[in-house]
Amino acid sequence: MGAPPLLIGAHVSIAGGIEKAFARGEAVGCTAIQVFTRNASRWQAKPLTEKSIVAFHDARQESNIGYVAAHDSYLINLASPDPELRNKSIAAFIDEMERCSQLGIEDLVMHPGAHVGAGPESGMNTLIESFHRIFSQAPDDVRVLVENTAGQGTCLGARFEELAEILDRLPSHKLAICFDTCHAFTAGYDLTSAEVYAETMDRFDRLIGCDKIALFHANDSKKPLGSRVDRHDHVGRGLIGPDGFAALMQDWRFTAVAKIIETPPGEDHCDDFANLAFLRRLANGEEV
């Protein structure tokens, strides 16, 4: 049996129709893509039409894209102490899961949210309660990928221990992890060499289990280790650097796990082409 196909790609636009994401991804060499299923900066969203749903399914069937994930709206805060905002967030997240179910998108990436001064313990309890409400109403065929954060402000999910707690307190079959390399680095987990990458991933494995990682966001960082500031850079060109990404791309545990870049595409998508080509070279063990 041969090695599984290399699943790498980018977050792609859905402008003009969500089904157009596949052609856009293929145009820059993606074998995996991430999309929004709605406008990420607005609370309200028009329901998906049957025409749009069918077009998405047809485009996916004709595409060589092997993996698709959605990312939820950045407005959503399931850990908010404000009842009105929390209820809006729960309703919006259920809508996100329903849209994924309609489109056949199996994984929905989300940020754990912020406690906004209520304290980490209170924020965590609120997040867990929100998820219980969501899972009692949302479709069963969509898995939630909890993304680690940089820890800016009062955001939860920067520490591996917090991610472990979320997974421990909720139904395990409904959840997995989206591991963002930039966020981990600026949260204080070093990834700059093969040695420290191994130490960081061993720590993750002990606390959570590497088998829980269902997706990587392969972003370099403009900000230093432990800065708790989320600023993505192009792969290998930031403060993590090429050695850390080489360790990731050559880690046998994650050969079949998709890696998505979330950086500006550049003029005519020149940076998308460069980033994906770089990841391919690293995966093949080529010198860079």
DSSP 241-286: -HHHHHHHHT-GGGTTSEEEE-S---GGGHHHHHHHHHHHHHHTT-
Per-residue pLDDT, 50: 97
Question: Residue 125 is part of a domain; what is its CATH number?
Answer: 3.20.20.150
Within a domain: 3: no
Domain hosting 151: range is 8-283
Contacts of 121 (CB under 8 A, 6+ apart): none
Q: What is the pLDDT of residue 119?
A: 97
What's the whole-number mean pLDDT along residues 239-250? 98
Q: Is there a domain that residue 2 lies in?
A: no
Whether 137 is covered by a domain: the verdict is yes
Token pair recorded at residue 223: 């900000």
Task: Please give the Cα distance from 263 to 118 (Å, whole number).
Answer: 32
pLDDT category at 285 given cuts 50, 70, 90 is confident
Tell me, yes or no, whether 74 lies in a domain: yes
Is 211 a domain residue? yes
Rounded Cα–Cα distance for residues 92 and 78 (Å): 10
Q: What is the mean pLDDT of residues 227-254?
A: 98
CA angle 171–161–167, rounded 5-degree value: 5
Q: Is 4's pLDDT higher than 90?
A: no
Annotated binding-site ranges for Zn(2+): 71, 111, 147, 180, 183, 217, 230, 232, 262
Q: Quick one: pLDDT at residue 35?
A: 98
Residue 225: both structure tokens together: 């280790």
> Would the pLDDT of 108 be above 90?
yes
Residue 88 lies in a domain: yes
Instruction: Provide the number of structural domains found in the chain.
Output: 1
Taken as a whole, the chain contains a residue count of 288
pLDDT at 2 over 80: no
* pLDDT 10s digits, 159-186: 999 999 999 999 989 999 999 999 999 9
In this predicted structure, the answer to whether residue 1 has a pLDDT above a threshold of 60 is: no
Q: Does the pLDDT value for residue 219 go beyond 70?
A: yes
pLDDT tens readout for residues 120-162: 999 999 999 999 999 999 999 999 999 999 999 999 999 999 9
The whole-angstrom separation of Cα 125 and Cα 148 is 17
pLDDT at 5: 85
Please identify which residue in the block is written with the tokens 């060589």.
64
Model confidence pLDDT, tens digit, residues 24-71: 999 999 999 999 999 888 898 899 999 999 999 999 999 999 999 999
C-alpha pair distances (Å), 188 with each of 23, 81, 245, 254 = 37, 27, 17, 22
pTM of the model as a whole: 0.97
Annotated binding site: 71, 111, 147, 180, 183, 217, 230, 232, 262
